[in-house]
């Protein structure tokens, strides 16, 4: 590095350094491009030998060894084979490392960074791949755009004229019911309401009676009424089931996913960082409906 680069780097560290109680740091960025820039800044800001692990919401992980803003080894990748620093050419390593940085940046947000000591001492001849080389290669890799949405519309399904008009799916097979059941994998609390049924709402997890997020009957009644009004306002645009997702400002805390399917409502309370799991479930259910 040039002297001016070192001074700029130290200034960046001084300006962005904050006290924290956990070894895990959240990587900021609402888009894949912003997250990639943050990942590159983390690499650039690593002076002493460290093992950096970038983990996405869906479990994808990139674990690398960094020293003096250089990547000297790779331990874990989101998919595929780990680059071999012993046998592969420098050009191949640069392109593969840029691809890995871009791949983890495009994984479901948010990303979390854990920094730890390397398992072994750094060898003298391990010069690694420089930050500048990786940054330049990343600039040639286009990342997908990620518009922020609060309502996830369902995909249009072709009309099947062979089905009789009076045919209706069994309650246990409706989209809302399947969402309620499958969301148990990531939800800390769940609610299922069927306005056409006199049965009591199904309450699971932290939504059970005596639990901290148990909704009383008045709250549920107002919630159902509000959703019914929202359904009425949106029917001109689409009569298909729709998913409403809400997450707290800053991306920390509890998020809320509400699937409204006519008279049935499924609610899942989940950690905000698990938004990717919600959208993946919704997409999977939509594919099953085709």
Asked if the model's pLDDT at residue 167 lies above 60, the reply is no
Where a domain ends, among 139, 174, 206?
A: 139
Where a domain ends, among 116, 139, 162?
A: 139
What kind and span of H or E run contains 288? helix 275-289
176 and 117 inside one domain: no
Give dist(CA 93, CA 177) in Å, integer: 48
Looking at residue 21, what is its pLDDT?
45
**Most trustworthy range by pLDDT among 19-33, 37-51, 118-132:** 37-51
Q: 193 - beta bridge partners?
A: 265
208 and 93 inside one domain: no
As a whole number, mean pLDDT of residues 180-187 equals: 89
Residue 19 belongs to a domain? yes
| Cα Rg of the chain (Å, integer) | 24
Asked if the model's pLDDT at residue 134 lies above 90, the reply is yes
Burial 220-251 (b: 16+ CB within 10 A, else e): beebbeebeeebeeeeeeeebbbbebebeeee
Give the residue from 134, 147, 12, 6 showing the smallest Cα distance to 72.
Answer: 134
| Residue 198 structure tokens | 């006199």
- pLDDT tens column, 240-263: 788 888 877 666 678 888 888 877
User: How many degrees, rounded to 5, is the angle at CA 249 between CA 60 and CA 39?
Assistant: 35
Q: Please give the DSSP secondary-structure letter assigned to residue 219.
A: H
More confident: 276 or 215: 276
Q: pLDDT over 70 for what percent of the chain?
A: 69
Residue 168 belongs to a domain? yes
User: Which residue range(s) make up the domain with 167?
Assistant: 151-289
Beta strands in 225-271 (DSSP E): 242-246, 254-261, 264-271
Helix and strand numbers (H, E) in the chain are 7, 12
| Residue 107 structure tokens | 């994984």
Residue 145 belongs to a domain? no
Residue 144 belongs to a domain? no
Give dist(CA 190, CA 181) in Å, integer: 9
Residue 16 belongs to a domain? yes
Looking at residue 146, what is its pLDDT?
53
Mean pLDDT computed over every residue of the chain: 77
Give dist(CA 68, CA 50) in Å, integer: 10
81 and 165 inside one domain: no
Q: Is the pTM of this model over 0.85?
A: no
Asked if the model's pLDDT at residue 161 lies above 50, the reply is no
Residue 162 belongs to a domain? yes
Looking at residue 197, what is its pLDDT?
65
250 and 212 inside one domain: yes
**Structural domain count, the chain:** 2
161 and 249 inside one domain: yes
Where a domain ends, among 111, 139, 167?
A: 139
CATH number of 182's domain: 3.30.450
What kind and span of H or E run contains 205? strand 202-205
Compute φ and ψ for 112, nearest 5 degrees.
Answer: -125, 135
């Amino acid at each position: 590095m040039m002297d001016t680069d070192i001074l700029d780097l130290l200034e960046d560290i001084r300006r962005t350094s904050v006290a924290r109680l956990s070894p895990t740091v959240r990587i900021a960025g609402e888009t894949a491009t912003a997250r990639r820039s943050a990942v590159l800044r983390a690499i650039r800001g690593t002076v002493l030998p460290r093992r950096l692990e970038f983990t996405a919401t869906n479990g994808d992980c990139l674990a690398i060894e960094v020293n003096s803003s250089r990547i000297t080894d790779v331990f874990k990748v989101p998919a595929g084979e780990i680059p071999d620093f012993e046998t592969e050419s420098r050009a191949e390593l640069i392109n593969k490392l840029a691809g890995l940085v871009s791949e983890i940046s495009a994984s479901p947000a948010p990303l979390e960074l854990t920094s730890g000591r390397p398992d072994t001492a750094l060898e003298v001849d391990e010069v690694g791949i420089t930050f500048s080389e990786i940054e330049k290669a990343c600039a040639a890799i286009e990342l997908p755009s990620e518009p922020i949405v609060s309502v996830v519309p369902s995909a249009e399904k072709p009309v099947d004229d062979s089905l009789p008009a009076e045919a209706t799916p069994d309650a246990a097979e409706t989209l809302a019911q399947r969402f309620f059941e499958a969301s148990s994998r990531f939800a800390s609390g769940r609610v299922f309401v069927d306005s056409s049924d006199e049965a009591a709402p199904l309450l699971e997890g932290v939504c059970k009676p005596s639990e901290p997020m148990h909704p009383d009957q008045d709250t549920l009644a107002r919630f159902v009424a509000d959703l019914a009004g929202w359904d009425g306002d949106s029917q001109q645009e689409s009569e298909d089931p729709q998913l409403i997702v809400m997450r707290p400002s800053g991306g920390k805390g509890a998020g809320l996913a509400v699937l409204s399917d006519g008279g049935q409502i499924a609610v899942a309370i989940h950690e905000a960082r698990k938004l990717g799991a919600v959208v993946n479930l919704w997409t999977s259910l939509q594919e099953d409906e085709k």
